[in-house]
Amino acid sequence: MHDVLTVCCYCGCGCGLYLRVEGGRVVGAMPSRSHPVSRNNLCAKGWQSFAFIHHPDRLTRPLVRKKGRLHPVGWDEALDAAAQGLRRVREAHGPDRIGVLASAKCTNEENYLLQKFARAALGTNNIDHCARL
């Protein structure tokens, strides 16, 4: 078993927590004692923050809608389908008819890339996230 220091995925407090890893699976979560926010404790959600990681409901393959139903496909097919669909809307209606929703649960790097994607790749400022919700 080894412990990996990371940050809790739940509220905006940003507790430092260790994920306890055994055999490629996360089996526990522990607060960091020296961390300025967590100071050796987590809330009930934080202590359980590892519980959903290996849940059987996790999506493990990309899905593409064919004839009204979502079917598992490979990454290339899914990415091509997504690119094609977005390109079609952009060509037909212009970039400002595409919207992008970023996430307050993703990293800074991902949010930065997504707004870059919206602005530079798609050509629209229609990017927002649920800060207000």
Partner 1 sequence: MHRTLILQKDHLLPLLRKLRKDNRVIAPVRNRFGDTFFTEIEDFDNAAIDLDQQPQTSLKSFFLPQSETLCRYVTGKHPESGALEYSFHAQVPVRTPTVYFGVRSCDLFAVMYTDLVFRRARERDIYYDRRRSDAVFISIGCARPFADCFCNATRSGPFLDMGFDLQLTDLGDRWFVQIGRPRGVRLIEEWPAFFTLASEADRKAQFQVELEARGLFRRHVHVDLAVKLLQEQPDHAAVFAELSRRCQDCGGCAYICPTCICFNIADLRLDEDGGERVRTWDACTFAGFTRMTGDCNPVDGETGRVRKRFLHKLLHDVQKHGRPSCVGCGRCVNMCFGGVDIIRCIEMLAAEGENGSGGRW
Partner 2 sequence: MTFGSGAMTNSIAEIGEAQVILVSGSNTTETHPQIARRIYEGVDRGARLIVIDPRRTRLARHAHIHLQIRPGTDIPLLNGMMRCILDENLVDDLFVEMRTENFLALRDMLYRVDIAQCATLCGVDEEQLRLAARSYARAQRSVICYCLGVTQHVCGTANVRSYANLAMLTGHVEQEFTGVDPLRGQSNVQGACDMGALPGVLSGYQPVSDPSVRARFERAWRVELPTTPGLTVLDMTHGDGSSDDAGVRALYVMGENPALSDPDLGRVRATLAGLDFLVVADLFLTETARLADVVFPAASFAEKSGTITNSERRVQLMRQAIDPVGSSWPDHRIIIELSRRLGYAMNYQSPAEIMEEICMLTPIYGGMYHDRLDNGEGLQWPCPDRRHGSTQYLHKYSFTRGRGRFEPAGHVPPAEAAEEEFPYILVTGRVYHQYHTGTMTRRSDLANREYSRPLIEVHPDDARKLHLRSGLAARVVSRRGSCVFTVRVSERVAAGHLFATFHFAEAPVNLLTGSASDPVARCPEYKVCAVRIEREA
Q: How many CB atoms lie within 10 A of CB 64?
A: 17
Which 61-80 positions form the footprint of partner 2 (CB under 8 A)? 61-65, 70, 75, 78-80
Retrieve residue 37's tokens: 């926010």
Residues that bind partner 2 (rule: CB under 8 A) add up to a total of: 101
Q: Which does 91 bind (CB under 5 to 8 A by kind): partner 2, partner 1, none?
A: none
Least spacing, CB of residue 103 vs partner 2, in Å: 3
**Rg for the chain, CA atoms, rounded:** 19
Site string for partner 2, 14-53 (x = CB under 8 A): xxx--x-x--xxx-----x-xxxxxx-x-xxx--xxxxxx
**Contact (CB, 8 A) for 64 and 78:** yes
Cα(70)–Cα(8) distance, integer angstroms = 32
Q: Which residue stretch of 29-37, 66-74, 95-103, 113-121 sits at the interface with partner 1 (rule: CB under 8 A)? A: 29-37
Distance of CA 21 to the CA centre of its chain: 20
Q: Which residue stretch of 51-59, 64-72, 94-102, 116-124 sits at the interface with partner 1 (rule: CB under 8 A)? A: 51-59
Binding partner 1 by CB under 8 A: which of 11, 13, 14, 40?
Answer: 40
What is the four-CA torsion angle of 19, 33, 48, 53, rounded to 10 degrees?
A: -20
The answer to the question of residue 116 lying near partner 1 (CB under 8 A) is no
